[in-house]
Each structure stands twice: as structure tokens, then as C-alpha cells.
Amino acid sequence: LRRQEKKTMSRYLDPKNDLIFKRIFGEHKELCISLLNSLLPLKKPITSIEYRATELTPETKLLKNTSVDVQCIASDGSIFIVEMQMHWTQHFQQRVLLNASKAYVKQLKVGESFKFLHPVYSLNLVNEVYDKRTTDYYHHYKIVNVHNTEQQIKGLEFVFVELPKFKAATRSHKKLQVLWLRFLTELNNGTDTVSDDFNKDKNLKAALELAKRGNYDSDELDMYDRVLDAIMTHRMFIEDAEEKGEKKGKAKGREEERIEVVLNSHRVGIPIETIAQISGLTIDQVKGILTQ
């Protein structure tokens, strides 16, 4: 008899949810290393990391306070920022650039030489399609000479992955990259069955265990559901705003929608950092709405 690819297992939670994503990749170094090595265009694989505080505190009034999902530093000094973005907004790329720039600048202490600066890599997993001009789901950006792209100013590199574009049949990249992307796209809220392929890698197997609903207490599950509700509310308001037609009406509707999302999310106890991620606003902007 042919072995079935899938088997019934415990109920799983969506690893894209803020709570689950941070538990898997923000608390287990070996899983974060595996994800980074599989998705980033690195010349040498990462062998060890240390987590850094995800809060990027500004040093001037021009640098707004924002938060990221996971930030870590490798043994060679390279810095890695990982974000899971459930909704695409027009200013998300600017926020990514700001966070990476702050991480790059804050390396250097007063009086130190620029030679001590290490590269910053920003990995951004986006659960929406934002570039409809291409079927490519993997986008790698770096600072290059426009006439000769082989000439690069090193220091900042960005990778954006449009998860909805990824198809499980894609085998053009390394097997591990495909497995991690399948893990993020095939597991959703309430998933009961998973592919046996995930059990062939120790890190994917460990990540599956961390995604099991049974590993979370009632308070954590309540928070998980609140984040899901906030995401659904945000999506609903965006769809309603887009149906109104007029650009001016859309802009006004989106602004009102963001305010309502912030207020409703805060009312049910969702942390400000998570509200900022859901709404696409900075933490300072969220705080400003809450203090109005």
C-alpha cells in the first residue's frame, strides 16, 4: 500500500499569528537560524545567534519608536531582523527601512571606527500580495549602482516574501526553504493534518510541536483569538473602504478604520506592539490615538 502523505495529528495554530510566530522564532535559536539560513542569500551559513531586544528605541525625535518580531545577532556580528506582516500597507517598506537603518546606526558607539559596523539583513514575510506585476514571491533588495548592479554598497539588505504567491509545488529553491514556506502557508487556524515532510527535518518537527494548540494555556489562547479577531476586523474595514470608490473617501475611510482597529484592539487587551503590527502604524502613532 502506498504510504499516505498526511496523517491526523493534534490541532495546530497559525504560525503567522504574532503570538505563535514569536514563540517559535523568537524563543528558539535553532529554529530562527534554520529559517534565516534557508531564506536569506548568505555567503556563509549562520551557526549561532543571540537575541536582541526587539524594541528599537529612537535616539532623536526624527526616529519614531517601532517594534519588530525578532531581532538577533550572529557570531560574526551580522544583525538579522525578522518580521511577519499580516497586512500590506503602503508605508510598510519605509518602516522596514527605518528599522534596519536604526539597527545599523546603533551598532557604533561614540568614538568608534566605521570599520566596526556589521551588515544588517531584514527578512519580511508578508501574508498578502503587494506586487501584482510579477508572479515572483521572493524579492531581494540591496544598495547597488544603477548602471552596474555588481557594484554594491554593503551594509543593508532586504528580503520580502509574498506568502500567498508561494506554491507547494515550487522546487526551484533549496528544499529547506520550501519546507519553511510550506510550514508558514499550510498551517492555519484549526489545521488538523500536516504533511509527513515536516517530520523529516528536526527543526521543522520542533516548530510543529510549538504550533500545537495543547502547548498553550487559556490566557495565551485567548490572546491568540484576540489577535485573529483584530486581523479580521482590520481586513473587513479595508475591504469596506476600498468599495467606497473615491480616493479621498478611501483615504478618510482607512484613517477612520485604523483608529477603530486601534481602539477596539486596546479595549480587549491586545498589547500596543501587536496593535502597531496589525494596523501598520508605529507604536508612537498607536499611543497618540489612545491618548486622544
Q: Is the dihedral of CA 170, 196, 209, 188 positive or negative?
A: positive
What digits encode the pLDDT tens for the residues 30-80?
999 999 999 999 999 999 999 998 754 333 333 333 456 899 999 999 999
Structure-block grid coordinates of residue 186: 499550510
- Residues in the chain where the model's pLDDT stays below 70: 1-10, 55-68, 110-111, 168-174, 235, 237-254, 268
DSSP summary character for residue 106: T
Buried b (16+ CB within 10 A) or exposed e, 11-35: ebbbbbbbbbbbbbbbeeeebbbbb
pLDDT score of 250: 47
Residues 106 and 173: their CA atoms lie apart, in Å, by 34
